[in-house]
């Protein structure tokens, strides 16, 4: 299957068989990344009130839209297009400059082509034991790696060390397109890993199969779609 990183928290997952999925589509002008031009069968949004994470209306293809916060509040799972989506509620950063009261959002997990994916949504605080346990057993973790506006890196690393995903793909960090002043560049996140456990795709798209997964946690840094 193919994985494409558009930027911010938005990924496209395109399996050889099964529905295509786009996560957390954004408003291009708000975050600095290019418009998402791909169509999808299913769009997952972590909330419905954050233009950087909820713009399913900008994705073509007449997709089914799942708000993972609503899924978390509605029992914690939903079956859509043959995909079991699990979700757990989380709060945004309590000092978020755009919200007087921290917004709530959903972190989610789903399986596609034999790979178990986990997406951290827009969580902005240390994870509880229950939230950490939610990520146990994941194959691919889309991890919030920019610190500012989201979970701080020591708290993120605590979860990664506990749950040991096999592949960590960072998102929501500072780039030449997305550059809030206090958001960290990717080097800050990578400093928590050994150099031999870090790979660079040098592309906005990768191909992955279950047999490609490492035995122990590795980081794969992707470029964003230009």
Whether 100 is covered by a domain: the verdict is yes
Q: What is the pLDDT of residue 212?
A: 93
Flag whether pLDDT at 97 surpasses 90: no
d(CA 114, CA 159): 23
Tell me the residue range of the domain where 145 lies.
Answer: 68-221
Whether 126 is covered by a domain: the verdict is yes
Whether 177 is covered by a domain: the verdict is yes
Q: Which residues contact 125 (CB under 8 A, 6 or more apart)?
A: 90, 91, 93, 94, 151, 155
Q: What is the pLDDT of residue 101?
A: 61
Cβ atoms of 137 and 187 closer than 8 Å: no
Whether 13 is covered by a domain: the verdict is no
DSSP state of 126: P
- pLDDT tens figures, 137-155: 999 999 999 998 899 999 9
- pLDDT tens figures, 176-223: 999 998 999 999 999 999 999 999 999 999 999 999 999 999 999 999
d(CA 159, CA 123): 13
d(CA 50, CA 120): 15
Give the strands of the sheet with 115-119, arranged side by side: 77-80, 83-91, 104-112, 115-119, 140-144, 167-171, 218-221, 198-200
Q: Which residues contact 99 (CB under 8 A, 6 or more apart)?
A: 92
- pLDDT tens figures, 164-183: 999 999 999 999 999 998 99
d(CA 60, CA 41): 9
Whether 31 is covered by a domain: the verdict is no
Number of domains in the chain: 1
Mean per-residue pLDDT of the chain: 95
Q: What is the pTM of this model?
A: 0.96
Angle (CA) 60 65 68, round 5°:
140
Whether 41 is covered by a domain: the verdict is no
Whether 186 is covered by a domain: the verdict is yes
Whether 47 is covered by a domain: the verdict is no
CATH number at residue 166: 3.60.15.10
Cβ atoms of 125 and 103 closer than 8 Å: no
Instruction: Give me the DSSP letters along 172-219.
Output: S-B-SS---TTSPBHHHHHTTS-GGGEEE--SSEEE--GGG--SS-EE
């Amino acid at each position: 299957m193919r994985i494409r990183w558009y930027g911010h928290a938005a990924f496209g997952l395109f399996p050889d068989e099964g529905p295509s999925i786009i996560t957390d589509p954004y408003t291009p002008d708000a975050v600095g990344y290019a418009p998402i031009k791909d169509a999808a069968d299913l769009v997952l949004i972590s909330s419905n009130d954050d233009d950087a994470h909820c713009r399913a209306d900008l994705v073509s293809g007449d997709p089914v839209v799942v708000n993972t916060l609503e899924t978390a509040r509605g029992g914690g799972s939903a079956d859509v297009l043959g995909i079991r989506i699990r979700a757990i509620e989380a709060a945004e950063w309590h000092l978020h400059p755009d919200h007087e009261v921290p917004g709530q959002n959903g972190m989610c997990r789903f399986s596609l082509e034999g790979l178990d994916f986990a997406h951290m949504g827009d969580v902005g605080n240390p994870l509880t034991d229950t939230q950490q346990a939610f990520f146990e057993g994941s194959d691919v973790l889309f991890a919030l790696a920019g610190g500012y506006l989201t979970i701080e890196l020591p708290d993120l690393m605590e979860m990664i060390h506990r749950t040991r995903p096999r592949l960590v793909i960072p998102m929501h960090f500072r780039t030449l397109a997305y550059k809030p002043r206090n958001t960290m560049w990717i080097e800050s996140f990578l400093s928590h890993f050994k150099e031999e456990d870090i790979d660079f795709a040098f592309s906005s798209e990768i191909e992955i199969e279950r047999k490609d997964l490492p035995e122990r946690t590795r980081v794969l840094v992707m470029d964003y779609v230009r």
